[in-house]
Chains A and B, each alone.
Chain A
């Protein structure tokens, strides 16, 4: 419809290639997730030390480096952010074999975190007898850590899907920008865990004076 007047140069167009939109979309989704977790974390902080009956976090949480305990699992989860970064870097350089290797390692580390969390929960529920309805600590702990684990699970499903597609040869270096968006989400899940860990296992676990 509009023809530019002769005096005007036609202005620059936005790239409109879909990837920019995807980046904005994922960034916005992560902002809304931060608002969601922020609320759960606020509720957790609000209730620290308000329990009127035990077991208290100090009795239950084990922050040692022992296998399948939380610190051990956290290291696996956090290091997976490095693996996924290496995977994307390999893909950018067109090395699909290396991509599959690092990507599979990411999936394995994420799976270790989930399995470890499962063992931790098993111990807490069966041995220590703490569940949602036990006390405020139980309600807060399982809600916050549970929602994080749920997000890890969702992430793992998408990661596995990409892995399967890559093994079937449907992922090529041309798709790198889209696959990169998956890694954004994974970095978010890892990043939020650092905060959850400090709130639940350090700050909420201080010895009672």
Chain B
């Protein structure tokens, strides 16, 4: 639409019309950017929440926070990071990239896409409004304090007075409807909107992985919505689903929540896989090793991940047979994930590797995700899990996956695609400083958590006695946070600096091969002047090397 309008006359566009343009937009690039900006804002919020907890835990017997405040902080930190940092950044990147990479004009249902974004946006506000409205008319604000998996019957009205848990339910429920609608949108886009010549097996792997990711969202998010409705009915209509005195069962909540919760972990990490799968080949100057195997491994991960949820419940006391079955299925996830690991490494072997910042982060992802994956295999082993369940070992494990893995992959993606989005390069020197600060800070913080977990420190305690021997490791964990904050500040600096002063990027700064690099940076509203036609998995390689195109070999 706006492409057809004549260029604006001289003078800056008034602020209100620019605001209106963003609020009323249905453009996948604008919506994607808005998702990511919101995600980054919530990343800062949730990061500060974590910082306050680490301040409280830095030494035994500290009194920075009250126990009640501490409970709210870990609940809000976990909930925010999963639903309002992870999800928007992933949906946002998919929004921006998928149509460009498959040569489409926009998503299949642009208005539904805008609707989903605003559901996410207001859902997140609903959760944070609980700080003011949580206790309703009692006059005192309070946020949910039931943990991010909100175990029943703690969430029942008997134990959770006021409305904080209702805000938790509604905020996530509303945002979840948005995510489900977005998943529908992406599946229709990827299956129905690919450009001429792009058969499914010529699609960029990012699109493949997002397709599987969206199918997982479709299957995993509605059960959470249903479970939350049961809980809401318990709290507001006096139903008895999780009311143990009337025959209700706390176990049902655990099953329903983790039936969502485990696939959710894969919903979060799969886009991380997608980013590094696109980045590693470009910076190794080789095609991805084993494309069909990557597709198969992604689909396999999707299938297996809906059948492993009981590994979060090994200490509940289910039958040994059930525990053994789910231990087996959990170990099975290691196979396709391992295949991916080997494929990424095999892509790097023998390549002319350029360690630009995106590649640094991708490599950091490989190493740290590997560690998180290995401790995951430990935890899948029932007897081991019995020893360290609900300890800081578990906290360390999933931060290696979600921070060392996912966040590093996200940084790789930001450094890689920022030139496409803004038209300017990010600063390499600052980027490398940020990388090393984050690597050091991250490993100090979360490496030390494994030790305090082994020493028996349970998660979610707001303080501990001096005689436990946990002080040193907790101090280490908290000191690591300072290093990380330095890293994150450099990133903020780099982002703002590069946005205005960065070197001009041009259309294709990395000499890459997928379609998004064939259009201008930033892309015009209509994406491509001519509908692209592809003949191989690397359409831009074919263009640049007409004498030796890929389609001769595929």
Residues of A at the B interface (CB closer than 8 Å) are: 1-5, 8, 10-16, 20-22, 24-25, 28-29, 31-33, 35-40, 42-43, 46-47, 50-53, 132-133, 135-136, 138-140, 143, 147
Further pairs besides A2-B534, A35-B223: 19, Cβ < 8 Å: A2-B539, A5-B542, A8-B535, A8-B551, A11-B197, A11-B534, A16-B192, A25-B109, A28-B187, A28-B218, A33-B222, A35-B222, A43-B230, A43-B252, A51-B247, A132-B239, A133-B238, A135-B247, A139-B233
- Please tell me the number of chain B residues within 8 Å of chain A, measured between CB atoms: 56
What does DSSP make chain B's interface, helix, strand, loop or mixed? helix
Which of B237, B239, B534, B549 has the most chain A CB within a 10 Å cutoff? Answer: B239
Q: How far, in angstroms, from A25 to B112 measured CA to CA in the complex?
A: 11
* A-B pairs with beta carbons under 8 Å apart, 17 shown: A2-B518, A11-B197, A12-B196, A13-B195, A14-B192, A14-B194, A15-B192, A16-B192, A21-B192, A25-B188, A32-B218, A42-B256, A52-B247, A53-B246, A133-B238, A133-B240, A138-B239
Asked whether any CB of chain A lies closer than 8 Å to the CB of B322, the reply is: no
Is A21 touching B196 in the complex (CB atoms < 8 A)?
no
Is A43 touching B241 in the complex (CB atoms < 8 A)?
yes
Q: Kindly identify which residue among B197, B230, B529 contacts A1, using a CB–CB cutoff of 8 Å.
A: B529
Against A, the Cβ 8 Å flags (1 = close, 0 = not) of B342-362 are: 000000000000000000000
Q: Kindly identify which residue among B238, B239, B259 contacts A143, using a CB–CB cutoff of 8 Å.
A: B239
Q: How far, in angstroms, from A40 to B224 measured CA to CA in the complex?
A: 11
Is A132 touching B233 in the complex (CB atoms < 8 A)?
yes
Residues of A within 8 A of B543 (CB): 1-2
Chain A residue at minimum C-beta to C-beta distance from B184? A28
Is B188 touching A28 in the complex (CB atoms < 8 A)?
yes
Contacts between the two chains (Cβ within 8 Å), count: 146
Asked whether any CB of chain A lies closer than 8 Å to the CB of B496, the reply is: no
Assuming the contacts A39-B222, A132-B239, A135-B240, asked whether A14 and B193 have C-beta atoms less than 8 A apart, the reply is yes
Residues of A within 8 A of B219 (CB): 31-32, 35
Is B256 touching A24 in the complex (CB atoms < 8 A)?
no
Residues of A within 8 A of B195 (CB): 13
6 closest residue pairs by CB, A with B? A133-B238, A11-B197, A139-B239, A39-B226, A36-B222, A35-B222
Asked whether any CB of chain A lies closer than 8 Å to the CB of B249, the reply is: yes
Q: How far, in angstroms, from A51 to B243 measured CA to CA in the complex?
A: 12
Asked whether any CB of chain A lies closer than 8 Å to the CB of B191, the reply is: yes
Q: How far, in angstroms, from A137 to B523 measured CA to CA in the complex?
A: 57
Smallest CB–CB gap between B26 and chain A, Å? 15
Is B246 touching A28 in the complex (CB atoms < 8 A)?
no
Assuming the contacts A2-B532, A51-B247, A136-B247, asked whether A39 and B227 have C-beta atoms less than 8 A apart, the reply is yes
Asked whether any CB of chain A lies closer than 8 Å to the CB of B530, the reply is: yes
Residues of B within 8 A of A32 (CB): 180, 183-184, 218-219, 221-222
Smallest CB–CB gap between A20 and chain B, Å? 5
Is A25 touching B225 in the complex (CB atoms < 8 A)?
no
Q: Kindly identify which residue among B197, B240, B518, B530 contacts A139, using a CB–CB cutoff of 8 Å.
A: B240
Which of A11, A52, A138 has the most chain B CB within a 10 Å cutoff? Answer: A11
Is B252 touching A46 in the complex (CB atoms < 8 A)?
yes
Q: Which B residues between 105 and 156 are near A, CB-CB below 8 angstroms?
A: 108-109
Which of A1, A5, A33, A132 has the most chain B CB within a 10 Å cutoff? Answer: A1
Q: Kindly identify which residue among A24, A36, A52 contacts B246, using a CB–CB cutoff of 8 Å.
A: A52
Asked whether any CB of chain A lies closer than 8 Å to the CB of B488, the reply is: no
Q: Kindly identify which residue among B196, B221, B229 contacts A13, using a CB–CB cutoff of 8 Å.
A: B196
Smallest CB–CB gap between A55 and chain B, Å? 14
Q: How far, in angstroms, from A122 to B65 measured CA to CA in the complex?
A: 52
Assuming the contacts A39-B222, A39-B226, A135-B240, asked whether A21 and B193 have C-beta atoms less than 8 A apart, the reply is yes
Chain B residue at minimum C-beta to C-beta distance from A25? B188
Is B223 touching A36 in the complex (CB atoms < 8 A)?
yes
Residues of A within 8 A of B221 (CB): 32, 35
Is B248 touching A132 in the complex (CB atoms < 8 A)?
no
